[in-house]
Structure 1
Amino acid sequence: MTSPPLPRLHIERKVRQNVETALADTRVVLIAGPRQAGKTTLARMFASDDRPFMTLDDAGTLSAAKSDPIGFIRGIRRAVIDEVQRAPDLMLAIKESVDRDEEPGRFLLTGSANLATMPAIADSLAGRMAVISLFPFAQSEILSTPGRLLDRLFDGEEPATGDEAVFGGGLVDVVLKGGFPEVLRRSTAPRRTAWLEDYVALILDRDVRDIANIDQLDRLPRLLNVLAEHAGQLVNHSSFGAALGLSSVTAQKYVAILERLFLVRTLSPWSNNRLSRLIKTPKLHFVDTGLLAALREDEAERLARDRTRFGPLLESFVVSEILKLASWSERRLAFSHYRTKDQDEVDVIIEDRRGRIIGIEVKASATVKPDDFRGLRQLQDAVGDRFVRGLVLHDHDRITPFGEKLQAVPISVLWTM
């Protein structure tokens, strides 16, 4: 099944309700996520005569905000401010304003950089700001399905497939497109790749300058290509740096910048005192698999010839879809991965505030064997009653049980529940 180009019509964003709720009780609300993910479109829905919209992508507005941030904010009762990372000093002026007037919903901000990782900003707005993540479209948004997989699994429900599971060539098509709205509107792979190449160039040329001072800006495109070939693998800053003539420390700094810009995402290693020989290294993923495929020059024909290249794409796709599901869930969820020195692993561990755990392993093959559950069984034994379920998500259309709370499940369960 090949999906058609996305028409130019409104697709309901599932985090919209989260934004409405936060504006009702919090002074500052930040919608954070990659450029071109739909933050501006969503934020404009909350703009009105009483809450005017202004964007720092406008040169005049940006100049005013940078030259006199306190004067820029003074006299504004409520506002929507787009791309606020372009004038970081504005955040301190906003803090001063909302400390004088504590009315909820005063400022709705959007940011294409993770401002929560900037200590000065995070500390200044602690307790005053709610951060809501907005990623490129999830499949459940595109298809108007519930998108409640994580909530339903933690509630004890069994996984269930929908009427039309997506597998084979249809799954490859979905993964290669990713979720950026502008990409989904383009009907051919060359047109999608052209947009993504321009997108990366814009971010690396302009947005990096807004959040960091780096000496070797020309290294970032090459670093991004190196990271693309290491997607789904353990982070190795020494190896990344060596490929570009950078030190390990510098490579680590540059990877952190790319993560702050929502291009890549690292999963921390999971730890447990009952298990020894755990590898304590983060794992690297890309936030959007359309972008990852473009960087790797992976297209349907190449993946058909070399199926091994589909695995890293599929794993990043699953991680991205899970992060999207979590972004509108009311549960506070933590994400990590598990790997031992014997190479037993669980690709994604999802843990709620009560310490309950769901383990997910990703396989690009249609066939699943009992040995594919080895890491999940180790995890189940280690956490005992806290283990909710272990799933091997793979390229198939049926659910197959492999033991108590262990099942092989189609990838499309990510959007059919």
Structure 2
Amino acid sequence: MRMTPEPSPSPNGTIARHAQSRITTALQDTRVVLVVGPRQAGKTTLARLYANSERPYLTLDDPATLAAARADPAGFVRGLKSAVIDEVQRAPDLLLAIKESVDKDQAPGRFLLTGSTNLMALPIVADSLAGRLAVITLLPFAQAELAGAPGDLLDRLFDGDALPPAVNPVVGDALMERVLRGGYPEALRRTSASRRQAWLEDYVALILDRNVRDIANIDQLDRMPRLLDVLAAHAGQLVNHSSYGAALGLTAPTAQKYVGILERLFLLRQIPPWSHNAVSRLTKTPKLHFLDTGLLAALRGDTAAQLQKDRTSYGPLLESFVESEVLKLATWSDQRLRISHFRTKDQDEVDLVLEDRRGRVIGIEVKASATVRPQDLRGLRQLQAAVGDKFVHGLVLHDHDRITPFDEKLHAAPVSMLWEAGVGAPKREKQVAA
């Protein structure tokens, strides 16, 4: 099969996605490439860059196309030498037909698929397409993408580089504004907080009414909006399905099932607990985070004016913001990272533990305050003692403009360290293109 032309760099005024180079590379050596992430994260915009006369664009959001794909999946795929198929989770039987097609013609780059649910939970994807499929996650805009920065802090730290200087730290109200905006492209196009709030509320309603039905048959769909509100109130806390269920009159197993559905839709993420033989008194419960803090703030009704008066609600928002930014960095990192959290029975904790395939560890703790006290590093020091020489670095990311060393491998640093270029003048933040 002749390789079709790949997209040129993004035109002026648009924001380049770091996932684009990974998609281009995968299409050159893999039969099927699947881009997954939440609705309105930019998957369609990115996928359309790869569509042309030899690789037509088809969307299953179109009723006629969806009907054809569901009525005769094999016939639908049989007529395609190559294609971009958007929202493939709406017709999951297409995946088996695609598997049969790419087994007959094993040329790379046959199909570029997008999905708004975690399709790896489907047995046909995990089993039938094994070895034929590259999965690339696309989340809402990362701050590094908005700033035009490489977003390579994790790679540099694992490579043994020193912590880069804080060139132009973002602190105070400016940092809070970024947290409240989140990263959904459509929300960022709205300049007022009230307009973003309206869009995010409509977005949640659409997801719960439409996308839940694509992946699950549940008999209490009307409970989902209230469940999402309950989960938003518990963001940054340990998962407690019994508590969620009790608030809604659901059993704990039912609440767990519904939370799993929301996770598959990329609305939230359960961060698993870190474990190690050297530490016996560790909590074994996952931690709950939302993948977009603009959405989380909208669900909680948090505004800049309220948070400036009472910062008690800001801590969970900032922690979810950092967790989301780190997850985004990990999606394009050269490292394969296991992401977890560390918490002892004595309440010492590290919000994020990043572990590579060699067992090397970076710990990240998040504080909403400008001051970091020695006791704020207790969890990081315990983590460092547990892994010994495999401890690469420990960071307390907080609302401050300077880097403070506590020892060779432990530093407090601005949150914006996650997206700063680190050397030279930072690039000017771009506007979101229509």
Q: Does TM, scored on the shorter chain, surpass 0.5? A: yes
Aligned to 2:114: 110
Contact 1:47/1:79 (<8 A) preserved: yes
Corresponding position of 1:81: 85
In structure 2, the partner of 1:158 is 162
Decide which of 183, 205, 230 is 1:201's aligned counterpart.
205
| Structure 1, gaps ≥5 residues long | 1-7
Secondary structure of the residue aligned to 1:12 is coil
- Taking the aligned partners of 1:254 and 1:116, their CA distance within structure 2 comes to 18
Q: Does 1:24 align with 2:24?
A: no
Equivalent in the alignment of 2:151: 147
CA contact (8 A) 1:161 1:416 kept: no
- CA offset at residue 123 of structure 1? 1.1
Match of 1:184 in 2: 188
The 2-side partners of 1:231 and 1:223 are apart by 12
The aligned residue for residue 285 of structure 1 is: 289
* Distance in 2 (alpha carbons) for counterparts of 1:341 and 1:254: 28
Question: Which residue number corresponds to residue 73 of structure 2?
Answer: 69
Deviations 1:361-415 (A, max 9, x none): 0000000001100000000000001000000000001000012300000000000
Contact 1:335 1:349 in 2 (8 A): yes
Task: Give the counterpart letter for 1:349 in structure 2.
Answer: V
1:226 and 2:230 correspond: yes
Deviation at 1:207, TM superposition (A): 0.4
Query: Any idea what SS the aligned residue of 2:371 has?
Result: coil
- Pair 1:131 & 2:144 matched: no
TM-score of the two chains, using structure 1 as the length reference = 0.97
Q: 2:100 aligns with which of 96, 100, 114?
A: 96
Match for residue 168 of structure 1 among 169, 172, 179: 172
Whole-Å Cα distance in 1 between the matches of residues 123 and 225 of structure 2? 26
Q: How many angstroms apart in 1 are the aligned matches of 2:133 and 2:203?
A: 29
Question: Following superposition, which runs of at least 4 residues in structure 1 exceed 6 angstroms of deviation?
Answer: none
Identity across the alignment (%)? 70
Distance in 2 of aligned mates of 1:121 and 1:260: 14
Aligned-pair distance for 1:162?
Answer: 4.0
Q: Displacement, 1:127?
A: 1.0
Q: Distance in 2 between matches of 1:382 and 1:69?
A: 52
Amino acid in the other structure paired with 1:94: I
The offset of 1:163, in angstroms, is 2.7
> Residue 404 of structure 1 aligns to which amino acid in structure 2?
E
Partner residue, 2:377: 373
1:310-349 paired onto structure 2 within 5 Å: 310-349=314-353
Which residue of the partner structure matches residue 387 of structure 1?
Answer: 391
Correspondence for 2:38: 34
AA in 1 matched with 2:182: G
Is residue 161–residue 410 contact of structure 1 (8 Å, CA) maintained in 2? no
One-letter amino acid matched to 2:165: T
Q: Given the two structures, how large is their TM-score scaled by the length of structure 2?
A: 0.94
- Which residue of 1 is the match for residue 408 of structure 2? 404
Contact 1:160/1:399, CA 8 A, preserved across alignment: no
The answer to whether the 8 A contact 2:166-2:414 is kept is no
Retained in 1: the 8 A contact 2:166–2:403? Answer: no
Letter in 1 for 2:139: F
1:46 aligns with 2:50: yes
Q: Which runs of 5+ in 2 are unaligned?
A: 1-11, 422-434
The DSSP-based 3-state class of the residue aligned with 2:81 is: coil
- Aligned-partner residue type, residue 88 of structure 1: P
Does the alignment pair 1:304 with 2:308?
yes
Q: CA offset at residue 260 of structure 1?
A: 0.3
Post-superposition Cα deviations, 1:297-354, rounded to whole Å, max 9, x if no partner, equal 0000110111010000000000100011111112111100010110000000001111
Deviation of 1:119 (Å): 2.2
| Paired position in structure 2 for 1:3 | none
**1:145 shift after superposition:** 1.0
Q: Deviations over 1:90-130 (max 9, x none)?
A: 11111111111111110000000000122232211111110
Residues 341 and 350 of structure 2 are in contact (CA less than 8 Å); yes or no, is this contact kept in structure 1? yes
Please list the CA deviations of residues 51-110 of structure 1 after superposition, one character each: whole Å capped at 9, or x if unmatched. Answer: 000000000000000111111001211000000011111111111111111111100000
Per-residue CA deviation, residues 110-158 of structure 1 (Å, 9 max, x unaligned), is: 0000001222322111111100000100011011011101001101112
Paired residue total? 411
1:249 alignment counterpart: 253
